[in-house]
A and B are shown apart, each in its own frame.
Chain A
Amino acid sequence: MSFEEIISTLSDQFGNDSFSELENSTPKGISLKIEQLVEIMRFLHDTEGLYFDSLSCLSGLDNGPEANTMEVIYNLYSIPYNQHFTVKVTLERSSPKLPTVEPIWKTADWQEREAYDMYGIIFEGHPDLRRILLPADWEGFPLRKDYEHQEYYRGIKVEY
Chain B
Amino acid sequence: MANEIQYIFDKDNLKKSEPGKFSTDQLKRDEMIINIGPQHPSTHGVLRLEVISNGEEIVDIAPHMGYLHRCFEKHAESLPYNQTLPFTDRMDYVAAMNNELAFAMGVERMLGIQNNIPKRVEYIRVLVAELNRLASHFIALGTFGMDIGAVSAFFWMIRDREHILRMLEWVSGARMLYNYIWVGGLYYDLPVGFEERCAQFITYLKPKLEELEQVLIQNKIFVERTANIGVLDPQLAINYGVTGPMLRGSGIKYDIRKADGYSVYPEIEFDVPVGKGEMGTIGDCWDRTSVRMQECYESVKIIEQCLTQLTGDHKRTRSFDPRAAVPKKIRPKAQELYVRAENPKGETGFYFRADGRSDIPFRCKARGASFMNLSVISALAKGSLVADLIAIFGSIDIVLGEVDR
Partner-B contacts on A (CB < 8 A): 22, 24-27, 53-57, 59-61, 73, 75, 79, 82, 84, 86, 105-107, 109-111, 118, 128, 130-138, 142-143, 154-156
Do A156 and B338 touch (CB < 8 A)?
A: no
Evaluate whether A26 and B337 lie within 8 angstroms (CB atoms) in the complex, with A53-B238, A155-B6 already known. yes
**Interface residue? B109 (CB, 8 A):** yes
Among A56, A60, A128, residue most surrounded by chain B Cβ atoms (within 10 Å): A56
Count A-B contacts at CB 8 Å.
Answer: 108
Bound together, the chains give a CA A59 to CA B334 distance in angstroms of 18
Q: In chain B between 235 and 289, which residues have their CB closer than 8 angstroms to a CB of chain A?
A: 236, 238-241, 243, 252, 254, 259
Q: Which of B14-70 contact A (CB under 8 A)?
A: 16-19, 21, 65-66, 69
Could you list 19 further interchain pairs (A-B, Cβ under 8 angstroms) beyond the known A59-B365, A132-B66?
A26-B336, A26-B337, A54-B238, A56-B241, A56-B340, A59-B351, A86-B336, A105-B239, A105-B241, A106-B375, A107-B375, A128-B21, A133-B65, A136-B19, A137-B17, A143-B77, A154-B7, A154-B10, A155-B8
| Contact of B239 with A53 in the complex, beta carbons under 8 Å | yes
- Roughly how many angstroms separate A142 CA and B13 CA in the complex, as a whole number? 21
Q: Which residues of B from 352 to 397 have beta carbons under 8 Å from A?
A: 353, 362-363, 365, 367, 371-372, 375, 379
**Distance A128 CA – B239 CA, assembled complex (angstroms):** 18
A25 and B333 CA atoms in complex are apart in Å by 11
List B contacts of A155 (CB < 8 A): 5-8
| Residue ID in chain A nearest B334 by CB atoms | A24
B100 within 8 A of A: no
Q: How many Å from the CB of A99 to the closest CB on chain B?
A: 18
Contact B338 A86 (CB under 8 A): yes
A contact residues around B195 at 8 Å (CB): none
A135 touches B349 (CB 8 A): no
Cβ of A84: which chain B residues have Cβ within 8 Å of it?
A: 338
Question: Contact between B239 and A107 (Cβ–Cβ < 8 Å)?
Answer: yes
Residues on A with C-beta less than 8 A from B349 are: 56-57, 75
Contact A106 B240 (CB under 8 A): yes
Interface size of B in residues (CB-CB distance below 8 Å): 49
Contact check: which of A53, A106, A135 meets B66 at CB < 8 Å?
A135
Distance of A97 Cα from B252 Cα, bound (Å): 36
Residues of A within 8 A of B336 (CB): 22, 24-26, 73, 86
B379 and A106 contact, CB distance less than 8 A: yes
B335 at the interface (CB under 8 A from A): yes
Most B CB atoms within 10 A — which of A57, A75, A105, A131? A57
A-B pairs with beta carbons under 8 Å apart, 29 shown: A24-B333, A24-B336, A26-B337, A27-B338, A53-B239, A54-B243, A56-B349, A57-B349, A57-B367, A73-B351, A75-B338, A75-B351, A79-B252, A105-B241, A106-B236, A106-B239, A107-B240, A110-B372, A110-B375, A130-B21, A133-B69, A133-B405, A134-B69, A135-B16, A135-B66, A138-B17, A154-B10, A155-B8, A156-B6
A4 to B254, CA, bound (A): 25
Is B213 part of the binding interface, using a Cβ–Cβ cutoff of 8 Å? Answer: no
Q: Check if B347 is an interface residue, CB within 8 A of chain A.
A: yes
**B404: Cβ under 8 A from any A Cβ:** yes
Contact across chains for A26 and B338 when beta carbons are under 8 A apart: yes
> A136 to chain B: which residues have CB within 8 Å?
16-19
Q: Chain A's nearest CB lies how many Å from the CB of B208? A: 34
B347 partner residues in chain A, CB cutoff 8 A? 56
A96–B73 Cα distance when bound, in Å, is 20
CA distance A118 to B239 in the complex (A): 24
- CB pair B241–A54 under 8 Å, yes or no, is yes
B71 at the interface (CB under 8 A from A): yes
Give every chain B residue within 8 A of A86 (Cβ-Cβ). Answer: 336, 338
- B241 near A107 with CB under 8 A, answer yes
CA distance A8 to B230 in the complex (A): 42
Contact A79-B238, Cβ < 8 Å, known A26-B338, A57-B338 = yes
A79 touching B254, Cβ below 8 Å: yes
Bound form: Cα–Cα A109–B376 in Å: 10
A2 to chain B, nearest CB (A): 17
Chain B residues near A109 (CB-CB < 8 A): 375
A139–B9 Cα distance when bound, in Å, is 19
B159 within 8 A of A: no
Contact partner of A57 among B17, B365, B379, CB < 8 A? B365
Give Cα distance in the complex from A143 to B69, angstroms: 14
Q: Are the C-beta atoms of A154 and B65 separated by less than 8 Å?
A: no
